[in-house]
């Protein structure tokens, strides 16, 4: 079971914009009842890795997280966590994305920047 499946992340996207979301459950809350910041980052890395992989897979490349940073602006304690990722740079060895995390009321809850490494897929 992968982390994204454990959290119940659902993805959709095409090209330069990808989206994902998951439901708020006790599994993603920290002791104060709000969604753990690590769950926000997991959503962001999942979205951006998927978007990068879709852009490089036909060239025999893989995509994996290289760096991620976040500004957590507003807590989420119920409903869903939504992420919208926009690619800012498509490099040969890395893609850079910006991700906005919002709640069900479309309030901005976090801003995240993710760099996704692009590497050759192993032979076979």
pLDDT digits (tens, 9 = 90+) for 27-78: 999 999 999 999 999 999 999 999 999 999 999 999 999 999 999 999 999 9
Would you state the structure tokens that stand for residue 68, as one six-digit string?
């991620």
Residue owning tokens 């893609």: 95
Domains of the chain: 3-120 (3.10.129.10)
CA gap 98, 81 in Å, rounded:
16
Catalytic residue from among 10, 45, 67, 100: 45
Query: Which among 86, 84, 81 has a CA at the least distance from the CA of 40?
Result: 81
Of 75, 98, 101, the closest CA to residue 20 belongs to 101
100 is catalytic: no
pTM (2 decimals)? 0.95
């Amino acid at each position: 079971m992968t982390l994204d499946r454990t959290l119940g992340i659902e993805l959709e996207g095409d090209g330069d914009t990808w989206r994902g979301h998951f439901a708020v459950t006790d599994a993603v809350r920290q002791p104060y009842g709000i969604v753990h910041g690590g769950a926000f980052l997991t959503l962001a890395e999942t979205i951006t890795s998927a978007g990068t992989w879709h852009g490089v897979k036909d060239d025999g490349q893989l995509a994996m997280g290289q760096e991620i940073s976040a500004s957590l602006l507003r807590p989420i304690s119920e409903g869903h966590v939504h992420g919208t990722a926009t690619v800012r740079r498509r490099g040969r060895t890395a893609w850079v994305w910006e991700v906005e995390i919002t709640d069900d009321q479309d309030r901005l809850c976090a801003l995240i920047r993710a760099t996704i490494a692009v590497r050759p897929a192993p032979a076979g």
